[in-house]
């Protein structure tokens, strides 16, 4: 899709230096610019590329002073980074604005579909599923029986939503993620038996799930991700877990069954929480923290495995580093004794 410099300047509230009728149809990094692309300059370290880039259009700060002529047409704005982010958002909306139902999609007669739906090839929508308006269902997505999906939600290729789960509005589920797989629960007395998992998963509005995540259905009731929760890739959430509003969880984290995580928490990569814990609001976990006890005080940070409060961990780490020398001193004292 082509845009003129004049159209882009109007969208960004910028001022043009150069050809207002110049057209671009792609985005690029300034150091990798090609003809017909638009780029931006925000970091001063990349200033030399302004004079060598092949990009046709460059967004830069309003008060930036040129030291020599630039071949690209320029658009001057208050914040090049914010302006380019706005363009990326627009570009993404255009790129992902798919509509229509593929002839190769399987949709059961009892399913209810909203308006402006996209359903790609080999996607499937089960009995009594309710799909909202402007929902994008990419190829090979599976939506089970009795699933509800809210308006403006996108499910990328290969995502799976098992029966009875509920997905809110403006959610994003990336490729390969599974919503509503069975919780890992077995009765271990005498004859080992799998415990049926008859609950569901509820994703409230504005939730984003990264690629290849697994969110298990509840044994009874619901596994719940509250409004605004954001997941990176490769995250496992066990049965009956509840994750509070606006909590962000980075890759490779695991939360065991029935743990309740508060609002506005931040998980770095590879954090593990055991089951049946309660985590206070605004808690932060450093990478690879292992948490085995509930956290009741809001706003604290934890690190280590087993994890403990970060200021105490840093003090203890001084002793960890000196452990070898301390052992040598003890050995010498014992020999003298």
Phi/psi of residue 87, nearest 5 degrees: -65, -40
Q: Are 20 and 38 in contact (CB under 8 A)?
A: no
| Nearest alpha carbon to residue 247 among 207, 286, 276 | 207
CB 260 within 8 A of CB 279: yes
CA distance 60 to 64: 7
Is the CB of residue 67 less than 8 Å from the CB of residue 23? no
Give the closest residue to 92 by CA, choosing from 27, 153, 149: 27
Catalytic residue among 174, 236, 239, 276: 239
For residue 320, what are its two tokens?
A: 């960890």
Active site residue 319: no
Query: Residue 241 phi/psi, 5° resolution?
Result: -75, 150
Could you write out the DSSP letters of every residue in 55-91? Answer: -SEEEEETTPPPSS--SSEEEEES-HHHHHHHHHHHH
Dist. CA 302–CA 89, nearest whole Å: 35
Tell me which residues are annotated as active site: 239
């Amino acid at each position: 899709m082509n845009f003129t410099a004049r159209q882009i300047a109007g969208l960004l509230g910028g001022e043009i230096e150069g050809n207002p009728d110049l057209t671009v149809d792609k985005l690029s990094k300034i150091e990798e610019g090609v003809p017909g692309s638009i780029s931006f300059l925000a970091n001063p370290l990349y200033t030399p590329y302004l004079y060598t880039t092949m990009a046709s259009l460059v967004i830069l700060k309003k008060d930036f002073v040129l030291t020599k002529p630039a071949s690209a047409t320029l658009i001057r704005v208050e914040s090049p980074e914010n302006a380019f982010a706005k363009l990326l958002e627009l570009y993404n909306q255009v790129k992902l604005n798919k509509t229509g139902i593929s002839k190769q999609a399987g949709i059961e007669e009892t399913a209810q579909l909203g308006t402006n739906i996209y359903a790609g090839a080999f996607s499937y929508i089960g009995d009594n599923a309710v799909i909202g308006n402007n929902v994008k269902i990419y190829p090979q997505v599976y939506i089970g029986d009795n699933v509800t999906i809210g308006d403006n939600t996108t499910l990328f290729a290969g995502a799976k939503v098992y029966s009875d789960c509920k997905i809110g509005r403006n959610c994003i589920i990336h490729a390969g993620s599974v919503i509503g797989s069975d919780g890992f629960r077995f009765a271990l007395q005498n004859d080992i038996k799998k415990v049926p998992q008859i609950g569901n998963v509820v994703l409230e509005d504005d939730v984003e799930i990264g690629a290849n995540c697994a969110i298990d259905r509840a044994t009874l009731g619901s596994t719940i991700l509250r409004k605004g929760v954001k997941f990176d890739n490769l995250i496992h959430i066990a049965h009956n877990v509840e994750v509070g509003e606006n909590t962000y969880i980075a890759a490779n984290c695991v939360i065991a069954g029935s743990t309740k995580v508060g609002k506005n928490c931040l998980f770095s990569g590879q954090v593990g929480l055991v089951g049946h814990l309660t985590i206070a609001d605004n808690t932060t976990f450093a990478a690879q923290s292992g948490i085995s006890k509930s956290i009741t005080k809001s706003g604290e940070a934890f690190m280590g495995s087993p994890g403990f409060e970060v200021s105490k961990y840093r003090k203890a780490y001084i002793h960890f580093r000196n452990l070898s020398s301390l052992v040598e001193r003890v050995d010498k004292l014992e020999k003298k004794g």
